[in-house]
Amino acid sequence: MTRATTTPDATSNPDAARQDDVLSFTDQVMFLALRATGAESVVQANWIYEHPIDYDGLRKFFDGMGYGLMGRRIEPSPLPFGRHRWVTVHGPQQELEIAEPRPRSELSDWVDERTAMPLDPEHGPSWHIGVLPMTDGSTAVSLTASHCTGDGSAGVLALLEAAHQARLHHGWNPPHARTRRQAVVEDLRVTVRGLPELGRTLVAAAKLAYARRHEISRSGAVRVAKPTGPDHLVKVPALSVFIPTAEWDARAESLGGNSYSLVAGFAAKLSERLGRHRVEDGLVTLNVPQADRQFGDTRANAVKLADIVVDPTKVTTDLSHARAALKAGITAAREVPDETLQLLPLVPWVPKRAVHAVADVVFGFSADMPVSCSNMGELPPDVALADGTPAEYMFFRGVDRTITRHSLEKRGGLLTVVALRLNGTIALSVVAYKPGAENSKPWLRDVIISTLAEFGLSGPVE
């Protein structure tokens, strides 16, 4: 089973890369979902320096971050059905924050605190950077940015540009450059130009609904119990583990796989431990994003998504099946368009109360309780140069800043795994929530360590 988001020319894909200031439909639905539900996804890059940090170099890096894809915010259309636009906001959007020294054992708590700090892709700041000196002499640096303004590949580009002081300008307007009258007239013009596409989309929607009528009739039989009791915000536990790439690759090869299939196998086995699998056969569905960012691409979220089905009972002894499934799924993601993405031109017209359901379709939530398994691969060494020198460790995370217990339990919980390779180390970041479980960091640490042990692997957990 695969689900793919391909990007051919703009005439065949309504969400193709754009050079103008208008948001893609995918970016607009993410922003609308944020405004409709308050649940905001953020991307976080974190560096750990074991050697003394160069604060002058870090400030230079900080000053260079607010350009290119990071030097922008979202300006909504004054029309309820209008297309939103990017506006330029160059340079840092708030001061570099240096915390009071804390013990190394509190690193993950501080990283969580950074994600909880205010972010807003419309009003700002859309990103911020903080520094944590630690009492053992090490230092952590954390960049947190709204997912509405950039995904992992956008973040990597921004880090490389900041490290090399490449201050790119996309030529968008500054905020509020248009009067309300100008904005209404221009956005109406864009809407009128899009009416033929909207008509074709309505026809496609009717055909798709008819073709999938049996799936739709069964979709109500979701096996997740309806949440009970009072609702409240939840702090979802998140931790990262670091493993030498030599050990990781050797284990992958011994199991008949490679680094990518071992990441998928780890995610599947972890999911099995958390009870996130299909009821009928015990298989695990992995949502595997593949970067789809083209040269000059200004989309905030530019990915192909493939749904990969893995048998978690086999991965600790044989990765060949996972490797084959991953290869087939990624190939299909490149070649098979996702029919549901034909419906994206309807996004500006969707009632606010229905936006969350549209976002679930676009971003891969389903009754299969999928796992988000993002493998960023081998990153360029220069992304580690937050202060101009290579950090000993680096990890990325994708987390929800504000999410409620009811929202989590309607999904059957949450599991996100983000992997990257850098400077001889593989970093695995895990964000997990299981309804009814302890859902604490000690609990998650035990789950990660015991899952890795099934593969004969171990590493420090931060």
Q: Of 131-140, 262-271, 282-291, which range is least confident?
A: 282-291
Render pLDDT for 14-39 as a digit per residue (tens, 0 to 9): 444 344 899 999 999 999 989 888 88
Per-residue pLDDT, 4: 38
pLDDT band at 279 (very low <50, low <70, confident <90, very high): confident
Q: Does domain 25-197 bear CATH number 3.40.50.720?
A: no
| pLDDT-above-70 percentage for the chain | 88
What is the distance, to the nearest Å, from the Cα of residue 81 to the centroid of all Cα atoms in its chain? 26
Helices (H) and strands (E) in the chain, counts: 13, 13
pLDDT band at 213 (very low <50, low <70, confident <90, very high): low
Beta pairing partners, 395: 46
Cα 310 to Cα 282: distance, rounded to the nearest angstrom: 9
Mean pLDDT of 89-101: 95
Report whether pLDDT(228) > 80. no
Mean pLDDT of 149-170: 95
Report whether pLDDT(362) > 80. no
Mean pLDDT of 153-164: 96
Look at strands 127-133 and 238-244 and give their pairing: unpaired
pLDDT band at 40 (very low <50, low <70, confident <90, very high): confident
State both tokens at 298.
């200004």
Cα 286 to Cα 397: distance, rounded to the nearest angstrom: 17
3-state secondary structure 214-243: HHHHHCCCCCCCCCCCCCCECCCCEEEEEE
Mean pLDDT of 308-331: 96
Per-residue pLDDT, 459: 97
Report whether pLDDT(302) > 80. yes
pLDDT, mean over the chain: 89
Q: What is the pTM of this model?
A: 0.89
Strands (E), 39-103: 41-49, 72-75, 85-88, 97-98
SS3 content of the chain, % helix, strand, coil (to 5): 40, 20, 40
Mean pLDDT of 68-88: 96
Mean pLDDT of 100-123: 96
Mean pLDDT of 377-397: 98
